[in-house]
Amino acid sequence: DAGITQSPRHKVTETGTPVTLRCHQTENHRYMYWYRQDPGHGLRLIHYSYGVKDTDKGEVSDGYSVSRSKTEDFLLTLESATSSQTSVYFCAISEGTKEAFFGQGTRLTVV
């Protein structure tokens, strides 16, 4: 299995609080992604990174920010959590257009 670790695996937080999810890889892949998975929507791309300090928005980026200060770490921050951000979040890594490898997911509940 690709070395991808997401933390935390589960989190419950209150509306309006900031939340940071971490993705750590040991594969030295250039590209890293954050997706959210919701029933009926599949996986939707939130943000992605194509190198250290190089990030860009995906299709559902509002309310989220990311940072990548090291090749191995990609952080996703919910600036002020809302109930609509309750979801399962997946980190993925890849080398360009090759297949993506996924972490185990983080289940986030905003109450």
Q: Which residues bind another protein (CB under 8 A)?
A: 31, 33, 35, 40-45, 48, 50, 58, 90, 92, 94, 96-105
**Closer Cβ to another protein, 16 or 50, answer by number:** 50
For residues 56 and 80, which CB has a smaller minimum distance to another protein in the complex?
Answer: 56
Work out how close the CB of 85 gets to another protein at its nearest, in angstroms, rounded to a whole number: 19
Residue 97 beta carbon to another protein: minimum distance, rounded to whole angstroms: 4
Are 17 and 85 in contact, with CB atoms under 8 Å apart? no
Place of tokens 């600036």: 79
- In angstroms, what is the minimal distance from the CB of 17 to another protein? 25
Closest CA to 91 of 79, 81, 106: 106
CB nearer to another protein: pick between 43 and 75: 43
Gap between the Cα atoms of 101 and 69, Å rounded: 21
Going by the DSSP 8-state scheme, the letter that residue 9 receives in this structure is S
Shortest Å, Cβ 98 to another protein: 8
- For another protein, the closer of residues 29 and 85 by Cβ is 29
8 Å CB contact between 105 and 89: yes
Of 88, 45, 53, the closest CA to residue 70 belongs to 53
